[in-house]
Amino acid sequence: MPDPIGFHPLRSMRIHIFRRWTGVWMTGVGLLILTGSSIAPAQPVISRVKDIAQLDGIQDNPLIGYGLVGGLAGTGDGRRGFTAQTLTNLLASMGINVLQPDVITTEVIPDNVAAVMVLANLPPYARPGTRINCTVVSIGRASSLQGGTLLPTPLKGADNQFHGLAYGSLSIGGFAAAAGGGGGLGAGSASVQKNHPAVGIIPNGVVVEGEPVFHNVVQEGNTLRWLLHTPDFKTASNLQRKINTLAGMNIARAEDASAVRVAVRMDANGNILLGTQPFHSLVDAIAFIDEAEIETDEPAKIVINERTGTVVAGQHIRVRDAVIAHGPLRITIETVPEVTPAGWGMGGAPVTTQQAQVTVTEGDKVTTVQGTTIGEVLSNLNALGYTPRDLIAILQNMAAAGAIKAQIEMIQ
Protein backbone atom coordinates (compact mmCIF):
# COMPACT_ATOMS: atom_id res chain seq x y z
CA MET A 1 0.00 0.00 0.00
CA PRO A 2 1.53 3.36 -0.96
CA ASP A 3 2.57 5.61 1.86
CA PRO A 4 0.02 8.43 2.30
CA ILE A 5 2.47 11.10 3.41
CA GLY A 6 4.47 11.67 0.25
CA PHE A 7 7.10 9.00 -0.34
CA HIS A 8 5.82 8.33 -3.86
CA PRO A 9 8.59 9.34 -6.30
CA LEU A 10 6.32 11.30 -8.64
CA ARG A 11 4.64 13.09 -5.76
CA SER A 12 8.03 13.96 -4.29
CA MET A 13 9.09 15.39 -7.65
CA ARG A 14 6.02 17.60 -7.81
CA ILE A 15 6.73 18.96 -4.37
CA HIS A 16 10.37 19.67 -5.33
CA ILE A 17 9.31 21.62 -8.42
CA PHE A 18 6.72 23.58 -6.45
CA ARG A 19 9.32 24.59 -3.88
CA ARG A 20 11.72 25.86 -6.53
CA TRP A 21 8.91 27.77 -8.25
CA THR A 22 7.83 29.24 -4.94
CA GLY A 23 11.34 30.47 -4.24
CA VAL A 24 11.57 32.23 -7.60
CA TRP A 25 8.10 33.76 -7.27
CA MET A 26 8.74 35.15 -3.80
CA THR A 27 11.98 36.80 -4.95
CA GLY A 28 9.84 39.32 -6.77
CA VAL A 29 8.25 40.50 -3.53
CA GLY A 30 11.47 40.89 -1.63
CA LEU A 31 11.87 37.51 0.09
CA LEU A 32 14.92 35.63 -1.14
CA ILE A 33 15.11 31.87 -0.54
CA LEU A 34 18.30 30.21 -1.74
CA THR A 35 18.18 26.43 -1.74
CA GLY A 36 21.82 25.37 -1.56
CA SER A 37 22.93 22.54 -3.79
CA SER A 38 24.01 19.35 -2.09
CA ILE A 39 27.43 19.81 -0.52
CA ALA A 40 29.93 17.28 -1.69
CA PRO A 41 32.10 15.93 1.08
CA ALA A 42 35.52 17.55 1.36
CA GLN A 43 37.94 15.75 -0.90
CA PRO A 44 41.07 14.43 0.80
CA VAL A 45 44.21 16.42 0.12
CA ILE A 46 46.95 14.33 -1.48
CA SER A 47 50.47 15.70 -0.98
CA ARG A 48 53.99 14.56 -1.61
CA VAL A 49 56.05 13.85 1.46
CA LYS A 50 58.60 16.51 0.46
CA ASP A 51 55.81 19.13 0.46
CA ILE A 52 54.61 18.44 4.00
CA ALA A 53 57.75 17.26 5.81
CA GLN A 54 61.50 17.68 5.88
CA LEU A 55 64.29 15.35 6.80
CA ASP A 56 65.65 15.92 10.28
CA GLY A 57 69.19 17.27 10.20
CA ILE A 58 68.74 19.33 7.04
CA GLN A 59 68.11 23.02 7.55
CA ASP A 60 68.92 26.47 6.23
CA ASN A 61 71.48 28.55 8.12
CA PRO A 62 71.18 32.33 8.45
CA LEU A 63 74.22 34.46 7.66
CA ILE A 64 74.89 38.03 8.78
CA GLY A 65 77.51 40.66 8.13
CA TYR A 66 78.23 44.36 8.59
CA GLY A 67 79.33 46.48 5.66
CA LEU A 68 79.12 49.73 3.72
CA VAL A 69 77.07 50.79 0.71
CA GLY A 70 78.72 53.46 -1.42
CA GLY A 71 77.77 55.46 -4.47
CA LEU A 72 74.71 57.13 -2.94
CA ALA A 73 73.61 60.53 -4.23
CA GLY A 74 73.85 62.43 -0.96
CA THR A 75 71.39 60.12 0.84
CA GLY A 76 73.97 58.39 3.06
CA ASP A 77 74.46 58.50 6.81
CA GLY A 78 76.28 61.84 6.87
CA ARG A 79 78.69 63.25 9.41
CA ARG A 80 77.17 61.85 12.57
CA GLY A 81 77.25 58.19 13.59
CA PHE A 82 79.60 55.27 13.34
CA THR A 83 79.69 55.20 9.52
CA ALA A 84 82.54 57.74 9.48
CA GLN A 85 84.53 55.56 11.86
CA THR A 86 83.93 52.48 9.71
CA LEU A 87 84.98 54.33 6.57
CA THR A 88 88.08 55.69 8.34
CA ASN A 89 89.09 52.17 9.39
CA LEU A 90 88.52 50.89 5.86
CA LEU A 91 90.71 53.60 4.36
CA ALA A 92 93.38 53.02 7.01
CA SER A 93 93.50 49.31 6.09
CA MET A 94 94.32 50.42 2.55
CA GLY A 95 97.19 52.65 3.69
CA ILE A 96 95.30 55.92 3.69
CA ASN A 97 95.73 57.51 7.13
CA VAL A 98 93.08 60.16 7.68
CA LEU A 99 93.80 60.42 11.41
CA GLN A 100 96.88 62.70 11.04
CA PRO A 101 95.70 66.25 10.34
CA ASP A 102 99.18 67.38 9.32
CA VAL A 103 99.26 64.72 6.57
CA ILE A 104 95.66 64.78 5.30
CA THR A 105 93.37 67.58 6.34
CA THR A 106 90.25 66.38 4.56
CA GLU A 107 87.59 65.21 7.04
CA VAL A 108 85.70 62.02 6.27
CA ILE A 109 82.04 63.00 5.70
CA PRO A 110 80.22 59.95 4.35
CA ASP A 111 77.24 61.65 2.71
CA ASN A 112 77.42 59.08 -0.08
CA VAL A 113 78.03 56.08 2.19
CA ALA A 114 75.62 54.10 4.42
CA ALA A 115 76.29 51.51 7.11
CA VAL A 116 74.24 48.36 6.50
CA MET A 117 73.62 44.87 7.79
CA VAL A 118 73.69 42.13 5.16
CA LEU A 119 71.46 39.09 5.65
CA ALA A 120 71.47 35.83 3.69
CA ASN A 121 70.13 32.31 3.99
CA LEU A 122 72.66 29.52 3.41
CA PRO A 123 70.77 26.54 1.91
CA PRO A 124 71.68 22.96 2.81
CA TYR A 125 74.64 21.43 1.00
CA ALA A 126 75.72 24.75 -0.58
CA ARG A 127 79.24 24.28 -1.92
CA PRO A 128 81.97 26.92 -2.31
CA GLY A 129 81.29 28.93 -5.43
CA THR A 130 77.50 28.70 -5.13
CA ARG A 131 75.74 32.04 -5.41
CA ILE A 132 72.77 33.00 -3.24
CA ASN A 133 70.67 36.12 -2.71
CA CYS A 134 71.12 38.59 0.13
CA THR A 135 69.18 41.45 1.74
CA VAL A 136 70.83 44.75 2.61
CA VAL A 137 69.32 46.78 5.47
CA SER A 138 70.32 50.32 6.41
CA ILE A 139 71.11 50.72 10.12
CA GLY A 140 72.21 54.37 10.10
CA ARG A 141 70.70 57.68 9.01
CA ALA A 142 70.60 56.97 5.28
CA SER A 143 67.32 58.01 3.69
CA SER A 144 67.76 55.86 0.59
CA LEU A 145 70.02 53.11 -0.75
CA GLN A 146 68.95 53.82 -4.31
CA GLY A 147 71.80 53.48 -6.80
CA GLY A 148 74.21 52.14 -4.16
CA THR A 149 76.77 49.37 -4.39
CA LEU A 150 77.61 47.08 -1.50
CA LEU A 151 81.32 46.89 -0.81
CA PRO A 152 82.67 43.35 -0.29
CA THR A 153 81.24 42.19 3.04
CA PRO A 154 82.10 38.87 4.74
CA LEU A 155 79.15 36.93 6.18
CA LYS A 156 79.28 34.54 9.10
CA GLY A 157 76.86 32.04 10.60
CA ALA A 158 75.82 30.99 14.08
CA ASP A 159 79.03 28.98 14.37
CA ASN A 160 80.97 32.28 14.10
CA GLN A 161 82.66 31.01 10.93
CA PHE A 162 82.66 32.93 7.64
CA HIS A 163 80.63 31.23 4.93
CA GLY A 164 80.27 33.83 2.20
CA LEU A 165 81.23 37.14 0.68
CA ALA A 166 78.53 39.63 -0.37
CA TYR A 167 78.94 42.47 -2.84
CA GLY A 168 77.26 44.09 -5.82
CA SER A 169 74.68 46.65 -6.95
CA LEU A 170 71.47 47.00 -4.94
CA SER A 171 67.95 46.69 -6.23
CA ILE A 172 65.40 48.41 -3.99
CA GLY A 173 62.30 47.86 -6.13
CA GLY A 174 61.33 51.52 -5.87
CA PHE A 175 62.76 55.01 -5.73
CA ALA A 176 63.08 58.15 -3.63
CA ALA A 177 63.47 61.58 -5.22
CA ALA A 178 63.54 65.11 -3.83
CA ALA A 179 63.80 68.70 -4.99
CA GLY A 180 65.05 71.68 -3.00
CA GLY A 181 66.70 71.73 0.39
CA GLY A 182 70.12 70.84 -0.98
CA GLY A 183 68.98 67.90 -3.08
CA GLY A 184 68.52 65.47 -0.17
CA LEU A 185 65.41 64.02 1.39
CA GLY A 186 65.66 65.99 4.59
CA ALA A 187 63.79 69.01 5.89
CA GLY A 188 63.00 71.79 3.47
CA SER A 189 62.71 69.52 0.43
CA ALA A 190 59.76 68.25 -1.59
CA SER A 191 60.09 64.49 -2.01
CA VAL A 192 58.32 61.51 -3.51
CA GLN A 193 58.96 57.90 -2.55
CA LYS A 194 57.85 54.48 -3.79
CA ASN A 195 58.26 51.35 -1.68
CA HIS A 196 60.89 51.33 1.06
CA PRO A 197 64.27 52.60 -0.23
CA ALA A 198 66.21 51.86 2.98
CA VAL A 199 66.17 48.10 2.26
CA GLY A 200 67.46 46.43 -0.89
CA ILE A 201 68.39 43.05 -2.28
CA ILE A 202 71.26 41.76 -4.40
CA PRO A 203 70.25 38.76 -6.53
CA ASN A 204 73.05 36.18 -6.44
CA GLY A 205 75.05 38.72 -4.49
CA VAL A 206 76.75 36.23 -2.13
CA VAL A 207 79.49 33.83 -3.13
CA VAL A 208 79.57 30.89 -0.74
CA GLU A 209 83.04 30.27 0.66
CA GLY A 210 84.67 28.14 3.31
CA GLU A 211 83.80 24.62 4.37
CA PRO A 212 80.23 23.36 3.70
CA VAL A 213 77.95 23.16 6.71
CA PHE A 214 77.77 19.54 7.90
CA HIS A 215 74.32 17.91 7.86
CA ASN A 216 73.89 14.60 9.66
CA VAL A 217 70.68 13.02 8.40
CA VAL A 218 71.31 9.53 9.76
CA GLN A 219 70.10 9.44 13.34
CA GLU A 220 70.95 7.03 16.10
CA GLY A 221 70.27 3.38 15.29
CA ASN A 222 70.69 3.92 11.52
CA THR A 223 67.38 5.69 11.13
CA LEU A 224 66.01 8.67 9.20
CA ARG A 225 63.40 10.96 10.68
CA TRP A 226 60.90 13.08 8.79
CA LEU A 227 59.45 16.13 10.57
CA LEU A 228 55.99 17.36 9.56
CA HIS A 229 55.67 21.07 8.85
CA THR A 230 52.24 21.02 10.53
CA PRO A 231 52.08 18.43 13.33
CA ASP A 232 49.03 16.19 13.05
CA PHE A 233 48.48 12.70 14.41
CA LYS A 234 46.45 11.46 11.45
CA THR A 235 48.96 12.73 8.89
CA ALA A 236 51.82 11.16 10.85
CA SER A 237 49.91 7.86 10.93
CA ASN A 238 49.23 8.06 7.19
CA LEU A 239 52.92 8.70 6.50
CA GLN A 240 53.93 5.75 8.66
CA ARG A 241 51.47 3.46 6.89
CA LYS A 242 52.52 4.64 3.41
CA ILE A 243 56.24 4.05 4.05
CA ASN A 244 55.60 0.60 5.48
CA THR A 245 53.48 -0.30 2.46
CA LEU A 246 56.13 0.85 -0.02
CA ALA A 247 58.92 -0.87 1.89
CA GLY A 248 57.07 -4.15 2.32
CA MET A 249 58.06 -4.19 5.99
CA ASN A 250 57.28 -2.25 9.15
CA ILE A 251 60.30 0.04 9.08
CA ALA A 252 58.49 3.31 9.88
CA ARG A 253 57.17 4.37 13.27
CA ALA A 254 55.34 7.58 14.11
CA GLU A 255 56.96 8.94 17.27
CA ASP A 256 54.36 11.65 17.81
CA ALA A 257 52.26 14.11 15.79
CA SER A 258 55.31 15.69 14.19
CA ALA A 259 57.94 12.97 13.61
CA VAL A 260 58.12 9.65 11.75
CA ARG A 261 61.29 7.57 12.14
CA VAL A 262 62.38 5.17 9.38
CA ALA A 263 64.94 2.38 9.77
CA VAL A 264 67.54 1.91 7.01
CA ARG A 265 70.20 -0.75 6.58
CA MET A 266 72.94 -1.79 4.17
CA ASP A 267 73.28 -5.18 2.49
CA ALA A 268 76.46 -7.10 1.68
CA ASN A 269 76.75 -5.38 -1.71
CA GLY A 270 76.70 -1.90 -0.22
CA ASN A 271 73.12 -1.13 -1.27
CA ILE A 272 70.82 0.86 0.99
CA LEU A 273 67.69 -1.05 1.98
CA LEU A 274 64.32 0.37 2.91
CA GLY A 275 62.63 -2.82 3.99
CA THR A 276 62.72 -5.00 0.89
CA GLN A 277 63.47 -2.11 -1.48
CA PRO A 278 67.17 -1.77 -2.51
CA PHE A 279 68.77 1.53 -3.57
CA HIS A 280 72.22 2.38 -4.87
CA SER A 281 72.66 5.25 -2.41
CA LEU A 282 71.10 6.97 0.56
CA VAL A 283 70.13 9.85 -1.73
CA ASP A 284 68.02 7.48 -3.85
CA ALA A 285 66.31 6.09 -0.74
CA ILE A 286 65.46 9.57 0.60
CA ALA A 287 64.17 10.69 -2.81
CA PHE A 288 62.00 7.56 -3.00
CA ILE A 289 60.21 8.48 0.24
CA ASP A 290 60.05 12.20 -0.58
CA GLU A 291 58.16 11.47 -3.81
CA ALA A 292 55.58 9.27 -2.10
CA GLU A 293 52.05 10.70 -1.94
CA ILE A 294 49.88 10.49 1.16
CA GLU A 295 46.55 11.84 2.35
CA THR A 296 47.05 14.80 4.65
CA ASP A 297 44.71 15.99 7.33
CA GLU A 298 44.76 19.38 9.00
CA PRO A 299 42.32 20.97 11.46
CA ALA A 300 39.72 23.32 10.05
CA LYS A 301 40.94 26.91 10.29
CA ILE A 302 39.59 30.39 9.59
CA VAL A 303 42.22 33.11 9.19
CA ILE A 304 41.14 36.71 9.83
CA ASN A 305 43.13 39.87 9.16
CA GLU A 306 41.31 42.76 10.83
CA ARG A 307 43.73 45.33 9.43
CA THR A 308 42.88 44.54 5.82
CA GLY A 309 39.41 43.08 6.39
CA THR A 310 40.41 39.74 4.85
CA VAL A 311 38.75 36.43 5.75
CA VAL A 312 40.08 33.09 4.47
CA ALA A 313 38.17 29.93 5.36
CA GLY A 314 37.76 26.44 4.00
CA GLN A 315 34.44 26.34 2.17
CA HIS A 316 33.48 22.94 3.63
CA ILE A 317 33.50 24.11 7.26
CA ARG A 318 29.95 23.59 8.48
CA VAL A 319 27.92 25.67 10.90
CA ARG A 320 25.89 24.46 13.88
CA ASP A 321 22.91 25.57 15.92
CA ALA A 322 23.16 29.13 17.27
CA VAL A 323 21.41 32.49 17.41
CA ILE A 324 23.65 35.52 16.78
CA ALA A 325 22.74 39.23 16.81
CA HIS A 326 24.93 41.76 15.02
CA GLY A 327 23.41 45.24 15.11
CA PRO A 328 20.13 45.03 13.17
CA LEU A 329 21.17 41.61 11.87
CA ARG A 330 19.85 38.42 13.46
CA ILE A 331 21.22 35.01 12.48
CA THR A 332 19.41 31.83 13.47
CA ILE A 333 21.10 28.49 12.84
CA GLU A 334 19.12 25.33 13.52
CA THR A 335 19.34 21.68 12.52
CA VAL A 336 16.30 20.21 10.77
CA PRO A 337 15.73 16.58 9.71
CA GLU A 338 15.51 15.79 6.00
CA VAL A 339 13.91 12.52 4.90
CA THR A 340 15.11 10.85 1.71
CA PRO A 341 12.45 8.50 0.23
CA ALA A 342 13.20 4.80 -0.13
CA GLY A 343 14.31 3.59 -3.56
CA TRP A 344 12.45 1.14 -5.80
CA GLY A 345 12.33 -2.53 -4.86
CA MET A 346 11.87 -4.45 -1.66
CA GLY A 347 13.81 -3.88 1.54
CA GLY A 348 14.43 -0.19 1.09
CA ALA A 349 13.78 2.29 3.90
CA PRO A 350 13.62 6.08 4.15
CA VAL A 351 16.87 7.72 5.28
CA THR A 352 16.81 10.66 7.67
CA THR A 353 19.73 13.11 7.66
CA GLN A 354 20.33 16.31 9.60
CA GLN A 355 20.66 19.55 7.60
CA ALA A 356 21.62 22.97 8.94
CA GLN A 357 19.24 25.82 8.14
CA VAL A 358 20.44 29.38 8.52
CA THR A 359 18.03 32.32 8.55
CA VAL A 360 19.43 35.84 8.31
CA THR A 361 16.97 38.66 9.04
CA GLU A 362 17.40 42.40 8.64
CA GLY A 363 14.28 44.46 8.01
CA ASP A 364 12.47 42.83 5.09
CA LYS A 365 15.48 40.80 3.93
CA VAL A 366 15.48 37.09 4.68
CA THR A 367 17.96 34.53 3.37
CA THR A 368 17.61 30.80 3.96
CA VAL A 369 20.34 28.35 2.99
CA GLN A 370 19.99 24.59 3.25
CA GLY A 371 22.98 22.37 4.07
CA THR A 372 25.00 25.42 5.02
CA THR A 373 28.76 25.76 5.06
CA ILE A 374 30.89 28.79 5.92
CA GLY A 375 31.40 29.47 2.24
CA GLU A 376 27.65 29.75 1.65
CA VAL A 377 27.10 31.89 4.75
CA LEU A 378 29.79 34.38 3.74
CA SER A 379 28.60 34.46 0.14
CA ASN A 380 25.02 35.26 1.07
CA LEU A 381 25.92 37.81 3.75
CA ASN A 382 28.19 39.50 1.26
CA ALA A 383 25.31 39.58 -1.25
CA LEU A 384 23.22 41.43 1.35
CA GLY A 385 25.83 44.19 1.39
CA TYR A 386 27.73 43.46 4.57
CA THR A 387 31.35 44.55 4.69
CA PRO A 388 34.32 42.26 5.48
CA ARG A 389 34.54 43.80 8.95
CA ASP A 390 30.90 42.83 9.58
CA LEU A 391 31.70 39.30 8.45
CA ILE A 392 34.70 39.19 10.79
CA ALA A 393 32.53 40.15 13.77
CA ILE A 394 29.88 37.61 12.78
CA LEU A 395 32.42 34.80 12.43
CA GLN A 396 33.92 35.63 15.81
CA ASN A 397 30.46 35.52 17.39
CA MET A 398 29.65 32.22 15.67
CA ALA A 399 32.92 30.70 16.90
CA ALA A 400 32.29 31.93 20.44
CA ALA A 401 28.79 30.39 20.34
CA GLY A 402 30.19 27.06 19.17
CA ALA A 403 28.46 27.34 15.80
CA ILE A 404 31.76 26.90 13.97
CA LYS A 405 33.98 23.94 14.70
CA ALA A 406 37.19 25.49 13.43
CA GLN A 407 40.21 27.35 14.72
CA ILE A 408 40.03 31.15 14.49
CA GLU A 409 43.46 32.65 13.81
CA MET A 410 43.98 36.41 13.92
CA ILE A 411 46.89 37.89 11.97
CA GLN A 412 48.11 41.45 11.45
Residue 318: closest CA among 402, 214, 389: 402
The Cβ of residue 300 has, within 10 Å, a number of other Cβ atoms equal to 15
Q: Could you tell me where the beta strands, DSSP code E, fall in 180-328?
A: 190-194, 199-208, 223-228, 252-254, 259-263, 265-266, 272-274, 277-279, 293-296, 301-305, 310-313, 322-326
From 270, 296, 322, the end of a domain falls on: 296
Work out the average pLDDT over 381-396: 76
Segment 186-211, tens digit of pLDDT: 444 455 656 678 899 999 999 999 87
Inter-CA distances, 244 with 224, 249, 271, 295, Å? 14, 5, 19, 15
| pLDDT at residue 370 tops 50 | no
361 is in which domain, residue-wise? 22-40+300-411
Does 123 share its domain with 225?
Answer: no
- Residue 11 is assigned to a structural domain of this protein: no
Does 292 share its domain with 307?
Answer: no
From 158, 185, 208, the end of a domain falls on: 208
Per residue in 322-359, is it b (16+ CB within 10 Å) or e — as a string?
bebebeebebebeeeeeeeeeeeeeeeeeeeeeebbbe
Residue 374 vs residue 122, higher pLDDT: 122
Which of 52-56, 259-263, 297-301, 342-346 bottoms out in mean pLDDT, i.e. has the lowest? 342-346
- Residue 225 is assigned to a structural domain of this protein: yes
Work out the average pLDDT over 162-188: 69
Does 118 share its domain with 225?
Answer: no
Which of 36-40, 102-106, 150-154 bottoms out in mean pLDDT, i.e. has the lowest? 36-40
Interatomic CA distance for residues 201 and 173, integer angstroms: 9
Domains held by the chain: number: 3
DSSP-based three-state secondary structure for 368? strand
Per cent of the chain over pLDDT 70 is 67
Per residue in 249-286, is it b (16+ CB within 10 Å) or e — as a string?
eebbbbeeebbbbbbbeeeeeeebbbbebebeeeeebb
pLDDT-derived band at 68, boundaries 50, 70, 90:
very high
Which of 99-113, 182-196, 331-345, 396-410 bottoms out in mean pLDDT, i.e. has the lowest? 182-196
Does 175 share its domain with 105?
Answer: yes
| DSSP code at position 4 | T
Angular region, 384: left φ>0, alpha ψ -120 to 50, beta rest: alpha
